[in-house]
Structure 1
Amino acid sequence: MRWQDRRQSDNVEDRRNERMSPAGIGGLGALGLGLLMRGGSKGLLVLIVLFIGLKACGYDPVRLFFGDGMLTQTSSKIENQSSTPVNDERTRFVSTVLASTEDTWSKIFTEKGAHYTAPDLVLFRNAVRSDCGTASSAAGPFYCPADRRIYLDETFFDQLARQFGAPGEAAQAYVIAHEVGHHVQNLTGGLSGQRQENEASVRTELQADCYAGIWAHYAARQGMFETDDINIALNAAHKIGDDTLQQRTQGYAVPDSFTHGTAEQRAAWFKRGFDSGAISACNTVNDDI
Structure 2
Amino acid sequence: MERFIILALVGLAAQLVDGALGMGYGLTSTTLLLTAGIAPAVASASVHMAEVVTTAASGASHIRFGNVDKTMVKKLIIPGSIGAFSGATFLSHLTGNYVRLYVSIFLILLGIYILARFLWLRDAQKQEHKALTNKFYVPLGFVAGFFDASGGGGWGPIATPALLSQKGMIPRKVIGTVNTSEFAIALSATAGFMLSLGPSKINWLWAGAIMLGGIIAAPIAAWIVKSLPTKILAVIVSGMLIFTNVRTVFSYSDISMDIILPVYAFLIAAWLYIVYYVAQREKNSSMAVSEPKRKTS
> TM-score if structure 1 supplies the norm length?
0.26
Higher strand share: 1
Relative contact order, higher structure (CA 8 A, sep 6+)? 2
> TM-score if structure 2 supplies the norm length?
0.25
